[in-house]
Amino acid sequence: MKLPASIARFIGEATLLPDTIGESPCQVHGFRRGGEGFFLKSSPAIFAPTTYSVLREARVLEWLAGRLKVPELVLVAQDQEHEFMITRQVPGVPLSQLVGEPRVALELFQMALQRVQAVPTQGCPFDSGIAVRLAELDYLLANGLCAVEHDLGQWPGLAGAEDLRARLQDNRPREELLFSHGDLGDSNVFVDGRDELHFIDLGRGGLADRWLDIAFVHRDLREQIGLEIADQYLRELGMPDQPLQREYFEQLDELF
């Protein structure tokens, strides 16, 4: 991939090391410059109207600066084929390294949800609500861009992606909008040596229903640690569980 001149100049002679964590169509490479760590992230231009857009994520990071601990945005660029951004590496380790300590992981996930949902919504220009995400799904389906690996068999009665799309349209829940990370999983939350939390991969950040991030945390705990600790997370939310809301957002995510 040919890099824009501004991006190439910043990277200089540094070695780009691919980061293979995650399933998005974006490419991520880490590199070192002046003793500091950075990441180069790029997305194909066809994803520009979607939440995979690197330039969208860059705008989210700019808006969140001072509101939430997120990567420092260093540089953005684009050409006819790709969008690019460079961010400074956040400190600490991802919560994925703490799955062997279930109670610690649970407490940090609880803290992460509180931090994200405490972001003031006033003036937030990013709409990540259901209507926007369904329109995005339509675009991905129309252009053959949906995730190749998906499992619709976990929900009875779905013969294919179009069935899922129809079910999502017909069962849209009422939304209680808060700021949402959009992909709140154990590889996207870092904890540093002072127990401060840092958040990455915010391309889907914006105003969305309260239960979207809760659903993702519950799924992550369920799959990485076990159902007991995941259900404990729900019990300690301080409000009644909404299993249908959680299922809706897991279904909405399946083709992404």
| pLDDT of the residue at 112 | 98
Contact of 30 with 39, CB cutoff 8 Å: yes
> Using one digit for the tens of pLDDT, what is the confidence trace for 48-75?
999 999 999 999 999 999 999 999 999 9
pLDDT (mean) for 195-205: 97
Q: How confident is the model at residue 194 (pLDDT cuts 50, 70, 90)?
A: very high
Extended beta strands in the chain, E state: 17-18, 27-33, 36-44, 73-78, 82-88, 93-94, 177-180, 189-191, 197-199, 206-209
Residue 6's alpha-carbon distances to 17, 61, 77, in angstroms, are 19, 20, 7
| pLDDT of the residue at 125 | 97
Contact of 201 with 188, CB cutoff 8 Å: yes
Which of 13-22, 52-61, 236-245 comes out lowest in average pLDDT?
Answer: 13-22
Residue ranges and CATH numbers for the domains of the chain are 5-88 (3.30.200.20), 93-253 (3.90.1200.10)
Question: Which residues are 83's β-sheet partners?
Answer: 43, 78
Share of the chain above pLDDT 70, in %: 100
CA angle, 11 then 14 then 19, to 5°: 90
Q: Is the predicted pLDDT of residue 172 greater than 80, yes or no? A: yes
Q: Is the predicted pLDDT of residue 187 greater than 80, yes or no? A: yes
Instruction: List residues with catalytic annotation.
Output: 183
Nearest-angstrom CA–CA distance, 3 and 16:
12
pLDDT (mean) for 122-140: 97
